[in-house]
Amino acid sequence: MKSFLQLTIILGIVYCAIGVDYVITGRDMEFFKRCEKEDDEGNIALDEVFQANLDISYADDGEKYLANGNVTFKIPIPDGAIVKAHAEVYKWQRGEWIRTMFSLKRDDLCQAMFSPLEIWSAAVKSIPKEERICPPKSDTVYHLVNTSFQGEIPNLLIPDLAGTYKIVAHVTLAEYIICMSAVADVWRA
């Protein structure tokens, strides 16, 4: 009996320690958009900061969106300004958005922006290296070529993460605070 109990505990630990891969796909054709009033703690509208000229279409797999075009940064930011970001994640449950344990905070977003270790790396790697300017100057243009609104989280030790999520992000650029939100679906790969 003791051996059976030990084996059961060991198998339980191994089962729980096996990571699960998840896929995140943006839900709307306009993936990042202005926050709802109840979420918005910003002092400048998203469309006053960025001008997007994007063609968004489905990829050949019919599952993910691809963005092609450019995004132009419109406001002046002083040299050496620190760009910060803070995002909260909510899950759609029982007809309302419930705050989750997930959040993201980057005290120097420029340092993290083009890092291959970040969750958004698949999206920003399509930006040509010579355009990877952060903090952006006024009239900086980022060209997006077949940029996917889909990402992967490999080897996560959470057994059931599938569902619909909303991300509310506040980005601080010098004296400006921008709020943007996105809705995404998450499922097991």
Ordered by where they begin, the domains of the chain are 19-188 (2.70.220)
Alpha carbon of residue 36 to chain centroid? 17
Residues near 156 by beta carbon (within 8 Å), at least 6 away in sequence: 19, 20, 21, 22
pLDDT at site 160: 80
pLDDT at site 78: 86
pTM attached to this predicted model: 0.80
pLDDT at site 126: 83
Show the low-confidence residues of the chain (pLDDT under 70). Answer: 1-18, 28-31
- Alpha-carbon distance of 92 to 183, in angstroms, equals 10
